[in-house]
C-alpha cells in the first residue's frame, strides 16, 4: 500500500489524477471504476483540467440509489454523466451504472457482475470513504467477499447524504452496490479522502484490524492500493509510510 499526503484537497486531487492518467496512458482503453460523493471531486476536477484524451476509456460506477426515477438529478447515473462522462469527454454509454430501476434487482446485480467480467475486469478503481467506513455503499457488517447486491443504507449514511435532498425523508433507504469482493477484484485501487472529519475513519481503515465493522479495512487485503490524502485526513495515522 502506498500512502501519499498532500497539503490540500486540490493537491490530493491532482496527485490522484496523475495515477489515473498513468493508467490511461499505459492502456488507452482502460476500464475505470468511478466513485461518486465529495471525496473524488478534486480528482475529477484535475482530470477535466488536464486536457488528456480519455475517449477510449470504459467504466463502471460503484452504486446507485433504489427508488429514484430515471433522470433524477440526485441519481448517481446523472452525477456520473455530469461529473465524469461530459467533463472528461467520454462517449455516452461507455460508463455503466447499476440498474437500480430494474424490476428484478437481484438479476440486475448479477448482470452487473457479468458486465464487469465481460469487460475484462476493472483496471483502476477510484474510491472514497464514508464516515462509518463504507466504500461504495458497503455498510458496516458487509461481508469482505460480498458481490454486487441490494443493500440497506445505514442511517448515518442517509443523514450524510441528506444535503443533496430537500429533506432527510427523501433520501432513499436502499441501493444497488458493488460488493467488497467485487471491488477487490480490480487490479489497482485508488482511495482519495480529505478533511479532518475523515481522519479517524481513515486511520481505522488503513491501520486498524481488517473487519466487516469497517468495510474500508478490506483494502488492506489488496496487493496494489494507492491512498491519497490531504493532511487533515491523514492527521490520525500513526505511521505515514506504508500502513501495517
Residues in CB range of 104: below 8 A, 6 or more apart: none
**pLDDT of amino acid 33:** 98
CA distance 129 to 233: 11
Cell of 145: 467477499
133: left (phi over 0), alpha (psi -120 to 50) or beta: left
CA atoms within 13 A on the CB side of 191: 33
Tell me, what's the pLDDT at 242?
42
Whether the model clears a pTM of 0.85, i.e. scores above it, the answer is yes
The owner of cell 477487490 is 184
In whole angstroms, give the CA distance from residue 190 to residue 155.
26
Q: What is the pLDDT of residue 241?
A: 52
Residue numbers in the chain where pLDDT is lower than 70:
240-244
Cα atoms found within 13 Å of the Cα of residue 126, Cβ hemisphere only: 32
**In Å, how far from its chain's centre is CA 91?**
21
Annotated catalytic residues are 63, 132, 134, 139
67 phi-psi bin (left φ>0, alpha ψ -120 to 50, beta other): left
Domain ranges of the chain: 2-230
pLDDT value of position 174: 92
Class of domain 2-230: alpha beta
Question: What's the confidence (pLDDT) of residue 109?
Answer: 97
Amino acid at each position: 500500500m502506498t500512502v501519499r499526503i498532500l497539503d490540500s484537497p486540490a493537491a490530493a486531487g491532482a496527485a490522484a489524477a496523475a495515477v489515473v492518467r498513468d493508467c490511461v496512458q499505459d492502456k488507452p482503453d482502460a476500464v475505470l471504476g468511478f466513485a461518486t460523493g465529495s471525496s473524488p471531486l478534486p480528482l475529477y476536477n484535475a482530470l477535466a483540467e488536464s486536457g488528456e484524451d480519455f475517449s477510449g476509456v470504459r467504466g463502471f460506477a460503484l452504486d446507485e440509489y433504489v427508488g429514484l426515477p430515471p433522470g433524477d438529478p440526485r441519481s448517481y447515473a446523472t452525477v456520473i454523466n455530469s461529473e465524469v462522462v461530459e467533463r472528461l469527454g467520454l462517449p455516452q454509454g461507455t460508463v455503466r451504472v447499476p440498474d437500480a430501476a430494474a424490476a428484478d434487482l437481484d438479476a440486475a446485480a448479477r448482470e452487473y457482475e457479468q458486465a464487469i467480467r465481460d469487460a475484462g475486469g476493472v483496471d483502476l478503481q477510484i474510491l472514497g470513504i464514508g464516515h462509518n467506513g463504507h466504500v461504495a455503499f458497503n455498510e458496516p457488517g458487509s461481508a469482505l467477499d460480498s458481490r454486487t447486491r441490494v443493500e440497506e443504507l445505514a442511517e448515518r449514511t442517509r443523514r450524510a447524504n441528506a444535503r443533496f435532498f430537500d429533506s432527510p425523508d427523501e433520501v432513499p433507504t436502499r441501493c444497488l452496490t458493488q460488493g467488497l469482493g467485487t471491488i477487490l477484484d480490480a487490479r489497482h485501487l485508488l482511495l482519495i479522502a480529505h478533511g479532518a472529519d475523515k481522519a479517524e475513519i481513515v486511520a481505522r481503515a488503513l491501520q486498524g484490524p481488517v473487519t466487516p465493522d469497517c468495510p474500508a479495512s478490506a483494502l488492506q487485503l489488496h496487493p496494489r492500493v494507492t491512498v491519497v490524502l490531504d493532511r487533515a485526513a491523514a492527521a490520525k495515522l500513526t505511521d505515514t509510510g506504508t500502513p501495517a
